[in-house]
A and B are shown apart, each in its own frame.
Chain A
Amino acid sequence: MPAAVPFRDLRYVRIATDDLAEPSGFAAETLGLQPSGATDGRAFFRSDARAYSVCFSTADETDAVALTVATDDDLASMSERLTSFGIAVKALDDADCAARSIKKGIACRAPNGIAVEFVWRPLASGWRYHGPRDAGIVEFSSVALATTDVAADEDFWTRIVGLSVSDWAGDAVFLRLDDAHHRIALYPSQQNGLLGIDFAVEGINNVMQNFYFFQGQQLPVVHGPGRQPTSGKAFVTTRGPRDLLYTFSTGMDRGPDLDGRVPRQFPAEAGSHCAWGSPTTQPEFLGNTL
């Protein structure tokens, strides 16, 4: 069995939708993402140097997250590795790759049903990101996944895909693939699939400005302003189309210190999801055993 391969980044998230207008308006006007084209039932949005980090799709596809590999060989190794664990792997054809702005890729399913795509040579943009409003976004930071069987998903992402656990909060798992505390977070839930998307912003000023922006727009503040005791990031979260959670955050722990550190276990309680005590009714952030 080939060893797990190193990943370069969490590349993009694709979100299935019935129509493009509502999520596109939300992405641009509320989140401040930069529209970067719409073709064949897909609308693309930029948050950083990537050609896109968010794709809304009406093309009858499932929600997906993508990880970038370094080489063509890594793609082959990963395909073989997944197959050896009995996971069905599909090579993306030319049309699939063109639609994703990648050179080459493979796709499989995580236990919670989300599509996981491993991609090689995803397109970057030579033009810097410039959103329609100054939300302070610097990077597509992480995704939160909901799962009814967190053990199965943790096993998939760690033992099979090869990510590292940074910390646990109750049974919620924070998974690392580069020098950041987490790029993928798994939350025990009564639902399966994509829970939310997190964009890093420049600093605490942007988190708080976005908090007041949400209030001014009469958008729900689902969680925060708060600070994750696990990752250290200050955050504020609202709810968008399809009830997905959208977060602006800053100050996530990152750096070589995280490597080799023993993952910490935080208690299964709301205080493990916010050190400031911000109120939330979102069950995944209450820490209760579900």
Chain B
Amino acid sequence: MIDLKDVVYCRLGTRDLDGAEWFAVNILGLEVAERQRGAVHFKSDDRYHTLCYFEGDPDDQVTAFEVAGASELQAAAATLEDLGHRVHAGTPEECTSRHVRDFIRFSDPTGNAIELVVRPEHSGRRYHGTRDAGITGFSHVGLYTTDPARDEKFWTTVCNARVSDRIGEAPLMRLGAIHHSIALFPSNRSGIQHINHQVAATDDIQRSLNMLREQQVNITFGPGRHPTSSAQFLYFSGPDGLTYEYSTGVCEIHDEPLWRDRQFPFEPTGFCQWGSKPNIPAFQD
């Protein structure tokens, strides 16, 4: 079993790095942690970075998870190779650019690029964005899946993810106490479906709604409240068509042995208990 501790960062290719940086800073509300040649790292919490945009193919998207240490990373590589996954060991240069001690990269059964990292850097400096979006941190990622049953099995049996709830065939899976750190949404493609940042309070969701509208950002879903995680949410479009989400109030599961995953319908009532309707293909039949 590969024991994933938490989701730590996403890496997104873009053909317009300046535009992506402008969006991340001025709309999303992240802080530039570091500019490298052809890449910009963004900070959203106490970690050194939780998002990286780099010059490249927008289909080149990576999600990274932390594992406990060097021996766990070696064991994970062996497990994945036994299962027939091709595993790339991070080079020293790649490790340096990611601000991690070590990492491996592989693809999940759908083809989503995943990195497992050891000792990702934190920083003593707290996050302070240029706009007060109220962000408290990068929290979860939605991935596309071409076969939700197969991929759920991979994430829950090869890795340590546990299903908290399902919306239709889409599993919402936790790694720790937080209701979900990974969600899988059926599609005919691979890649990152959405990236979530938590915000402090309802006020932050609602103020951002009006700010995003004024900036003519495409609001795709919400404001609403998920009946699954109880989080209030807002989804909107970012660079290269990627969906971003703000949410607040996600529930935690502490009575682990007692929790029973619940089944919600794959229709608007399964996604929102306030009555908003998604304009997001992955959330629609």
> Which residues of A pack against B, CB within 8 Å?
204-205, 208-209, 211-213, 216, 225-227, 234, 275-279
In this assembly, does B174 line the interface, its C-beta being within 8 Å of a C-beta of chain A? no
Residue contact B225 to A279, C-beta cutoff 8 Å: no
Q: Say whether, besides A213-B275, A216-B275, A276-B203, A208 and B209 are in contact (CB < 8 Å).
A: no
A213 cross-chain contacts in B, Cβ below 8 A: 275
Residue contact A209 to B274, C-beta cutoff 8 Å: yes
Residue contact A278 to B273, C-beta cutoff 8 Å: no
In this assembly, does B276 line the interface, its C-beta being within 8 Å of a C-beta of chain A? yes
Please measure, in the bound complex, the distance between the C-alpha atom of A113 and the C-alpha atom of B278, giving whole angstroms.
47
Query: A212-B276, A234-B202, A279-B213 known; 7 other A-B pairs, CB under 8 Å?
Result: A205-B225, A209-B273, A225-B206, A226-B206, A275-B207, A276-B207, A278-B210
Residue contact A205 to B275, C-beta cutoff 8 Å: no
Residue from B203, B211, B213, B224 in contact with A208 in the complex, judged by beta carbons closer than 8 Å = B224
Residue contact B275 to A277, C-beta cutoff 8 Å: no
Please measure, in the bound complex, the distance between the C-alpha atom of A266 and the C-alpha atom of B160, giving whole angstroms.
52
Residue from B202, B209, B276 in contact with A204 in the complex, judged by beta carbons closer than 8 Å = B202
In this assembly, does B13 line the interface, its C-beta being within 8 Å of a C-beta of chain A? no
**Chain A residue with the shortest CB-CB distance to B232:** A204
**Chain B residue with the shortest CB-CB distance to A208:** B274
B213 cross-chain contacts in A, Cβ below 8 A: 279
Residue contact B202 to A209, C-beta cutoff 8 Å: no
**Can you name 28 A-B residue pairings with CB atoms under 8 Å?**
A204-B232, A205-B273, A205-B274, A208-B223, A208-B225, A208-B274, A208-B275, A209-B273, A212-B274, A212-B275, A216-B275, A225-B206, A226-B206, A227-B203, A234-B202, A275-B203, A276-B203, A276-B206, A276-B207, A276-B209, A276-B210, A277-B210, A277-B211, A277-B214, A278-B206, A278-B210, A279-B210, A279-B213
> Which residues of B pack against A, CB within 8 Å?
202-203, 206-207, 209-211, 213-214, 223-225, 232, 273-276
Please measure, in the bound complex, the distance between the C-alpha atom of A212 and the C-alpha atom of B213, giving whole angstroms.
17
B274 cross-chain contacts in A, Cβ below 8 A: 205, 208-209, 211-212
B214 cross-chain contacts in A, Cβ below 8 A: 277
**Chain A residue with the shortest CB-CB distance to B274:** A208
Please measure, in the bound complex, the distance between the C-alpha atom of A205 and the C-alpha atom of B207, giving whole angstroms.
17
A227 cross-chain contacts in B, Cβ below 8 A: 203, 206
**Chain A residue with the shortest CB-CB distance to B223:** A208
Minimal beta-carbon separation of B145 from chain A (angstroms): 30
Please measure, in the bound complex, the distance between the C-alpha atom of A204 and the C-alpha atom of B274, giving whole angstroms.
10
**Chain B residue with the shortest CB-CB distance to A209:** B274
B223 cross-chain contacts in A, Cβ below 8 A: 208, 225
Please measure, in the bound complex, the distance between the C-alpha atom of A227 and the C-alpha atom of B205, giving whole angstroms.
12
B203 cross-chain contacts in A, Cβ below 8 A: 227, 275-276
**Chain B residue with the shortest CB-CB distance to A204:** B202
Minimal beta-carbon separation of A228 from chain B (angstroms): 12
Please measure, in the bound complex, the distance between the C-alpha atom of A276 and the C-alpha atom of B234, giving whole angstroms.
14
A226 cross-chain contacts in B, Cβ below 8 A: 206
Minimal beta-carbon separation of A9 from chain B (angstroms): 28
Minimal beta-carbon separation of A251 from chain B (angstroms): 10
Residue contact A277 to B224, C-beta cutoff 8 Å: no
Residue from A209, A225, A275 in contact with B275 in the complex, judged by beta carbons closer than 8 Å = A209
A234 cross-chain contacts in B, Cβ below 8 A: 202
Give me the 10 closest cross-chain CB pairs, A-B, nearest first: A212-B275, A277-B210, A276-B206, A208-B274, A276-B207, A209-B274, A209-B275, A212-B274, A278-B210, A277-B207
Minimal beta-carbon separation of B161 from chain A (angstroms): 29
